[in-house]
Amino acid sequence: MNQLLSIFKQKFAASPAFLTRAPGRVNLLGEHVDYNDGAVLPAAIDREIHLAAASAPEEVVSLHALDLEESVSFSLDHLNEKKDLEGNDLPAWALYPAGVAWALKDAGFKVTGMRAVYSSDVPIGAGLSSSAAVEVAFAVTWQALARWKADRMTIARLCQRAENAYVGVNSGLMDQFASAHGVEGHALYFDTRSLEWRPVPLPAGTAIVIADSGVRRSLTTSAYNDRRQACEEAVRELQKFMPGIHSLRDVSPTELAAYSEYLSPIVERRAEHVIKEIARVESAVSALHRNDKRAFGALMFAGHASLRNLYEVSTPELDVLVEVARRLPGCVGARLTGAGFGGCTVNLVEAAQSEEFIEGLKAGYQQETGRQAQVYLCRASQGATVEKLSLRF
């Protein structure tokens, strides 16, 4: 943190007015259902974006990404052009804060010039929502700088719009929601249709362990959008027999079985994953409320098998991580987390055995793949916060 403040002073010859943190998230269950109106079960985690910022008198945003050692400045008056002040295309990392500024302005919120330095310990491309954390961090910072009021759901939805319409990634709302709404020690049950949510306590005596496979992916170039289109096709075909449905959320496993012969094999597999995954989330919440770790863990393993076999978004490396975890003492459940095509697995582990589990997972993964996994012991954390620093300087 001190480094962030020091770099800000070096770059801008001034002190920042605000210090913002916004967490990444891990999804415990409910993968690829948020854009199908299903309920999801993420948790904000203590891997975070930290941002030092102050307003600027001109309509210019000047950013320094500390981890990349890159800087860029762009005008708030020409956001649609996606260019820096020299007329060059904005680098990919700068599209996220620029997109937030664009979405906020388009919604009628005041967006001031800004000077900012930020850093992150959320692994990029690992399925832990580094992009959503950046978006939420900048949104709540602009809220503090310009002193306007909006609830956290409004902010999350505007950040989602930035990612969808400006960056070009067809993501659902879960990532931004979790970064904005996290509750320490809890998962978040989030109904993506009604936007109702509630915290759900994680099992006593357990820890969250995230294992990064080291395989990176880009959502914009992966088959993510293909999966989403398959779900939409399934709804269109099923509406011929069930005209009242609006999304796969409205289809039960029994109804899918009744009409699956009218779907292409690939579309049927995608729909089966989504429909059964939505049911798994509801079962998982019930298990958590009765502190049934074993049932919750079984649902995690079943979710991974479905993502591997039906949605086909796993990789050999992710499969190895899950299978190694399954054999280790203390493992309650394991599955890939995030969109897939690389990234991380999430493991629910007995806290007393977490250190031995981490060492065993690293060793087993390296033995079977020749790769080294970065493994993080995490806790469910609070959502984004903004601290006013003016009194400290």
Quote the CA–CA distance of 350 and 99 in Å, as a whole number: 40
b/e for 355-367, b at 16 or more Cβ within 10 A?
eebbebbbebbee
Dihedral angle at the C-alpha atoms of 255, 256, 259, 262, nearest 10 degrees? 160
Order the strands of the 374-378 sheet from edge to edge: 331-337, 344-350, 206-212, 374-378
CB 366 within 8 A of CB 373: yes
CB 339 within 8 A of CB 127: yes
DSSP state of 89: B
Question: Among positive and negative, which fits the CA dihedral 28, 29, 30, 32?
Answer: positive
Quote the CA–CA distance of 314 and 306 in Å, as a whole number: 10
267: helix, coil or strand? helix
Half-sphere exposure (Cβ direction) of 37: Cα atoms closer than 13 Å: 13
Of 46, 175, 212, 319, the active-site residue reads 175
CB 18 within 8 A of CB 388: yes
Other C-beta atoms lying within 10 Å of the C-beta of residue 159: 33
Count, in order, helices (H) and strands (E) of the chain.
Answer: 11, 12
Pairing, β 39-56 against β 18-29: antiparallel
Half-sphere exposure (Cβ direction) of 183: Cα atoms closer than 13 Å: 13
E-strand stretches of 76-218? 113-120, 186-191, 197-201, 206-212
- Whether 175 is catalytic: yes
| C-alpha to C-alpha distances, 360 to 120, 212, 330, nearest whole angstrom | 27, 14, 11
Q: Euclidean distance between the first and final Cα of the chain, in Å?
A: 15
Q: Which amino acid is at 53?
A: A
Residue of 49, 357, 5 lying closest to 210 (CA atoms): 357
Which are the catalytic amino acids? 175
